[in-house]
Structure 1
């Protein structure tokens, strides 16, 4: 895939410093909350994540430095609202090496940990939601055998299903709530010897 094949709304990450900035649990929580609630100040964010306004401001400035958040409107100090910079992120780990690859692995690990935290929260708090939301929440696991092209097709089809839901805030129904859909598709047998040698470098 060349750079021309990337969706205009998707940002490709290759800078190890930017990926390291993202690989922090507090910053991931900040991005999650801004994505769900919209613009908030450092003080408001700090109250939600259990951090001081000063510490939250530091994390916001770091995220802003690498283009993950931006000022929502004019303000002063910790009363200044921040918002998430919208758009997808693409990291082609298989094309990276050295520090960039290590940073990509660290970021991916941190994002998975954050996702698993949200999944566990849903499991614990599921009974607190209304019955309709309890019923539609789902978990799926499917094991089969596929070729490379078949797995690529499944990935593309899932993306096509979700595409209509990438919509601006003004187009979201009033009854809509924040929802996470996470999908993985990967080989589950042991890698061949050649792949093991390459990954060990």
Structure 2
């Protein structure tokens, strides 16, 4: 079935933000005297604020320390973005131009806070290219629960086979699979697994490489 709408993740897919988060978390952890590991980062990719807080409460032993860590991390992210901005991912402009030419609608479905999504869209100049957004604080259950993608699908007003999800993380791929929406993975920090390979139409190196699948 022809793709008539695309649901985009944001962090690590539209914008090169995951590296910023990773370094911000490492810095905050160092300031507080504990290690933030690659395994920690992988565990929280694409999850909700509630999951994030529960994860670090278990790791740090208290809600107070968790709040301090998260607040420090967000301040570190804001400092980097304000000073250096954030880059958009390769191939994005080509894909958006193609969607415009073909009349393919789009919506962002991000686990991040709506305020952070808006900040990144403004920082990158992408706000004019995405008028529809569903954020993590606008749903009850985060990825890998399919709720956010089902809500995005409602916004597109399309049947699932006519939509396409683009994701960079296994949690996002799993959520799309549970929603029965076709999904292509564009990996960022985490390589596809045997399970994600079973759940995706394809894995591609950048967003421009999605275009041939839209032309089929």
TM-score by length of 1: 0.26
Structure number with higher relative contact order (C-alpha < 8 Å, ≥ 6 residues apart): 2
Computing the radius of gyration from Cα coordinates, the structure with the larger value is 1
